[in-house]
Amino acid sequence: MSDSLKRSACGFAIAIILLAVPMTGCRDRTPRLQPLPTHAVILAFGDSLTAGNGAPRVASYPSILQQLTGWQTINAGVPGEISAEGVKRLPGLLQRHHPDLVVLCHGGNDLLRRIAHKTTAAHLATMIEMVRKSGAQVIMLGVPQPGLLPGSADFYQDVADRYQVPIENEVLTGILRDSTLKSDMIHPNAAGYKRLAEAVAAVLERSGA
């Protein structure tokens, strides 16, 4: 092989390696979970976004998630609940249902009430610790801050990184920026909840659950 061909081949190989590195990094950023058993129980814990406000109950994201995965998914959403109330409610649900995994989508009402971010972050951390102490695994959903162009509050990713929890931090922002996917300023419609359920299922797949 001529020197020019060798240089070309070498340059091509380096380009392939450089392209592969970011892809590998993206995969590695999703923390791994243990595979869920066939008859797993998922607890969807949160507020009105979990309850399914803005759509029929059967169109809530926990209902659609159950259809997508085949795992029993309990809708434990309470509209209007703030994270301090969630901390008090969660232990009873863990004891009653013994879930294998909890989908934690909380803090939206804290944002609406302008509760300090550090307070909400501390409550989310407490909930994660409760879930893990119960023997269950956990994933998180980031909730957008109110505004003309909503974006997920920074503390969700901070808490997820601290505890190495898989997180879907973009789907709710995308839904609430699309008028065809929401029923009002802060709640999805049936199509939006379907999109949310699909995103949760994708996180479970990426994390190995």
Six-digit token string for 197:
């359920």
pLDDT of res. 149: 63
pLDDT of res. 20: 36
Strands (E), the chain: 41-46, 72-77, 101-105, 137-141, 167-168
Give the number of other Cβ atoms within 10 Å of residue 66's Cβ: 18
CATH topology assigned to domain 34-206: Rossmann fold (3.40.50)
This prediction has a pTM of: 0.84
Domain layout of the chain by residue ranges: 1-30, 34-206
User: 3-class SS at 140?
Assistant: strand
Tens of pLDDT, residue by residue over 146-170, are: 866 667 789 999 999 999 999 999 9
Tens of pLDDT, residue by residue over 83-142, are: 999 999 999 999 999 999 999 999 999 999 999 999 999 999 999 999 999 999 999 999
Q: Select from 42, 124, 45, 123 the least CA-distant residue to 77.
A: 45
Task: Say yes or no to pLDDT of 204 above 50.
Answer: yes
